[in-house]
Amino acid sequence: MKFHPLRRLVSALLLAGCALPALAQQKLQIAGNFATEHPSSIAVEQVFKKEVARLTNGQLQVDVFPAMQLGGAKENVDAVRSGTLALTWVGAAYLSRIVPELEAVALPFVFPNREVALRVIDGPVGDAIEKKLQDKGFTSLGWMELGMRHVTNSRGPINTMADLKGLKLRLQPSETHLASFRALGANPVAMDVKELYSALEQKVVDAQENPYTVISASRYGEVQKYLSNTGHFFDFIAVIGSKKALEQLKPEYQKAVREAMATTVAYQRKLAIESEAKALADLKTKMTYTEISPAAREAMRKAAAPVIDEVVKKRAGAALVDQVLAEVAKP
């Protein structure tokens, strides 16, 4: 049997008791809880991974773990904070237990559309929140679009606030989200996303709320019959890194990670617009879809408005919340 010259060299080194030279290539792990079909997972796999490799001439490689492969959202956040995981992309609500200031951008019925929401998070408000993240051991790498959140349920169509009364509704672990739906008459329950599908299937909860892209990619239409365009919150995906892990990289690699993620975020935001329309069209073929009237949504907004003063300002700080509201009001 013929040996390749490289194999001969490796064999000779081993026989001589010599250590093999260390590989120069480094690896980063990034994990998320979104399904592989979600636009955020697609962007990380198709853009971030390739851009990091390109910018570092292949010397820094990225291993991507979507769809809860390395645990649920809480586990990913805790792993990044401890430094055992380099990066995660996660719904901002999962960081609010550590950085309550994030609840300032989780206001009920405040963001009228994605353009306003993204303008706010990309401006001074986002800068202030990123400083709070840094204080807790995170490095903020940008904000992807999660989108407007809408209610699905197995009980019946939701046309008005009265239809929410007593509805056992799964929510993210955000006190603002929970308080908002208590104000709307629902019975909200905080639950990690990794438990959600089975909870809906087994009727542990009646309902859940998510953007159309998540509802479609996570196949909640298989275990929920009714969908309503409540549009109660606009949500962000925080892309965070471990300060401890990233600071161990060469400065040029740290720069490459930041540049690659900036490109990824821009790509994801465009993809999110396309994906939302496709997801809604898909869901309408599987679920009973109900349009909420402007009057019904306004009634919900008024009912939830006190939460901003009673909960959000206490947790996130009145100055930051007022800044968000002022930014939203700008023409």
Helix-then-strand count for the chain, H and E: 15, 11
Q: What is the mean pLDDT of residues 158-180?
A: 97
Q: 119 and 327 in contact (C-beta within 8 Å)?
A: yes
The two three-digit tokens of residue 30, written as one number: 């990034």
Mean pLDDT (the chain) is 94
222 burial type by CB count under 10 A (0-12 exposed, 13-18 middle, 19+ buried): exposed
Which pTM value belongs to this model?
0.91
User: What is the 8-class DSSP label of residue 169?
Assistant: E
Of all residues in the chain, what percent carry a pLDDT higher than 90?
92
Cβ partners under 8 Å of residue 131, min gap 6: none
**Residue whose entry in the numeric block shows the structure tokens 């993204």:** 118
Q: Count the Cβ atoms, other than its own, within 10 Å of residue 2.
A: 4
Q: First vs last Cα of the chain: how many Å apart? A: 76
Q: For the segment 84-110, what is each residue's pLDDT rounded down to a tens digit?
A: 999 999 999 999 999 999 999 999 999
Q: What domains does the chain contain, in order, with CATH numbers?
A: 26-329 (3.40.190.170)
Contact criterion met (CB below 8 Å) for 173 and 230: no
pLDDT at 1: 44
Mean per-residue pLDDT, 71-91: 97
Q: What single-letter DSSP state applies at residue 291? A: P
152 beta partners: 208, 227
Q: Can you read off the two tokens belonging to residue 240?
A: 């965070």
**How do residues 263-310 score in pLDDT, each as one tens digit?**
999 999 999 999 999 999 999 999 999 999 999 999 999 999 999 999
What pLDDT score does 24 carry? 63
How much is the pLDDT for 10? 40
Q: Give the pLDDT of residue 11.
A: 44
Distances (CA, A) of 146 to 96, 238, 267, 272: 16, 9, 13, 8
DSSP string, 199-263: HHHTTSSSEEEE-HHHHHHTTGGGT--EEE-----EEEEEEEEEHHHHTTS-HHHHHHHHHHHHH
What average pLDDT does range 71-90 have in this prediction? 97
50-65 confidence digits (pLDDT tens) = 999 999 999 999 999 9
Q: Write the burial class of residue 317 (CB in 10 Å: 0-12 exposed, 13-18 middle, 19+ buried).
A: middle
User: What is the per-residue pLDDT for 25?
Assistant: 84
